C-alpha cells in the first residue's frame, strides 16, 4: 500500500510575508485591526488570487513592508470577502486604502496594468509624511 503525502503549496499572496503583514479573516477582523493599530499607518491591500496585477505587485508590497516595519499591511482577499469589498466600494484590483488612527481613511487608489510601482511608491512616501 502506497501512502502519498503532498506538502501544502504556498499561495502567491502568502510568499514573502513580513511580520507586519497579515491576511484579514472577516469584516470584524478588519475593523478590530484598524482600531488596534493606534496611530500606526495602515495599508489595506485588496487583492484577488486570479488578478495578474495583484500578483505582480505583491513582491513590491512585501519589500515595502520590510523597509517600513512600523507600517501595518493588511491583505483582503476579494474572492473570500466580496460583500465586504462591495460595501467598501472596492471594484477594481489591485486596490489600496491608507488609514491612520483618529484621522481614519487618508486616501485610496487602484493600480492599473501600465503603472504598478510608481503610484504605490509615491503614495506610500506621501502618506508616510502625514
Query: What is d(CA 55, CA 51) in angstroms, rounded to the nearest whole number?
Result: 6
Active site residue 85: no
Q: Pick the catalytic residue: 54, 62, 85, 111?
A: 54
DSSP assignment of the chain: ------PPPPPGGGTT--TTEEE--SHHHHHHHHHHTTTSEEEEEEE-TT-HHHHHHHHHHHHHHHH-TTSEEEEEETTT-HHHHHHTT--SSSEEEEEEGGGEEEEEEE--TT-SHHHHHHHHHHHHT-
In the Cβ-directed half-sphere of 54, how many Cα atoms lie within 13 Å? 23
Active site residue 51: yes
* Catalytic annotation, residues: 51, 54
Amino acid at each position: 500500500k502506497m501512502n502519498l503525502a503532498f506538502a501544502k503549496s504556498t499561495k502567491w499572496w502568502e510568499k514573502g510575508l513580513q511580520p507586519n503583514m497579515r491576511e484579514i479573516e472577516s469584516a470584524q477582523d478588519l475593523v478590530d485591526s484598524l482600531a488596534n493599530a493606534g496611530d500606526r499607518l495602515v495599508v489595506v491591500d485588496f487583492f484577488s488570487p486570479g488578478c495578474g496585477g495583484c500578483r505582480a505587485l505583491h513582491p513590491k508590497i512585501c519589500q515595502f513592508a520590510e523597509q517600513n516595519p512600523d507600517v501595518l499591511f493588511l491583505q483582503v482577499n476579494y474572492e473570500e470577502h466580496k460583500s465586504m469589498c462591495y460595501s467598501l466600494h472596492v471594484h477594481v484590483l489591485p486596490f489600496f486604502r491608507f488609514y491612520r488612527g483618529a484621522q481614519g481613511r487618508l486616501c485610496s487608489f487602484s493600480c492599473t496594468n501600465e503603472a504598478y510601482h510608481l503610484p504605490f511608491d509615491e503614495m506610500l512616501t506621501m502618506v508616510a509624511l502625514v
